[in-house]
Structures are given as C-alpha cells and as structure tokens.
Amino acid sequence: MAIHPIVTFGAPALKKVARRVERVTPELLRLTEDMFETMRQAKGVGLAANQIDIDLAVSVISFRETLLTMFNPRIIAGTGTQSNVEACLSVPGVEGEVKRAAEVTFTYLDERGELQERSVSGHLARIVQHELDHLNGVLIVNHLSIAARTLHKKTLERLKAENVQPRKQVHR
C-alpha cells in the first residue's frame, strides 16, 4: 500500500467532475486500499480520488463501524436538513458551518462491481455528501457563508498560491 499526497485548494483536480469508472478492476481495488491508508494517515473519515489527483469517481469512507468503498456514487434522494461545522483534508485550516440533507439515499458500485443502494442519516449522511461533492468538483468553500469565506481569505489565498505551477517557457 502507498500513501498519496493530498492535493489542496487551488489544485485543478478539485474543480473537475470525476470521470466515471467503467468497471471495477484489481488495480482500482488496490487504489482504494491506498486511499484508505492515505485517509487514515491524514486522520480523515473520507477521501475522494480527485483529492489525490486521480480523475476517477471513487470514494472511501471510514466512520465508526462503517467502511465504504464506492465507485460512481450518486445521491438519488435527500430529506431534512442538518447544519454542522465541517473541515476538509484538501482545505487545511478552513472550517465552517455547512447545511446538508439530514438523510440521503445513494447508489454506488461496490468492490465486486455490483450496484448497491443505501440510505444513511446523521453524520454519515454528511460525510457521504461531502465526498460526493468532491467528485462533482465542489469543495466546502462553496458552501461557506460570505462571512466564513472572508474569515478564511488569507488561508485560501495561501493555499491557492501554493498550487500555482509556473508555466513552461516556450522558446521560439
């Protein structure tokens, strides 16, 4: 297993909608093992593949007794609302109040490539929504109030500046 670097705010991978998985392969299963290891090392509860700069709709979650490996996850229903403080491994140093559905029903392919449908509530519903946001190019920053974004402006600017890659000079 390998631990991958987690990309941060400003990285292009975090703004893109992740590419769907055609089929679950042994290579993808090894990737999810790496993702679990990376997430545990970072002390997170969820990780999406684009957070490690891999353009695939893959996410893993480890929360209490729940371990979830999801390929092509999609929320099909949400009910109620809950509001709570969230943080993100890809936006270190930034946290804020995020409103989400209290219960969600979602579909995904499991490790065997079989379609599953599941309903979850509470904190696990929040984690599922957070990870699916990643796969759709959405970060917690997109959910924060203007006041919270203003509060974290310097941190966000620093993270974005760290992700600016110098352009290669073209010689003519």
How distant, in Å, are the alpha carbons of 27, 43, 56, 96, 101 from that of 109?
15, 25, 13, 31, 22
- Let me know if 86 is a catalytic residue: no
How far does Cα 95 stand from its chain's mean position?
15
User: Which residues are 84's β-sheet partners?
Assistant: 98
Look up residue 30 and give its DSSP letter: H
At 138 the three-state DSSP class reads coil
Active-site entry in 86, 131, 157, 162 = 131
**Which residues are marked as active site?**
131
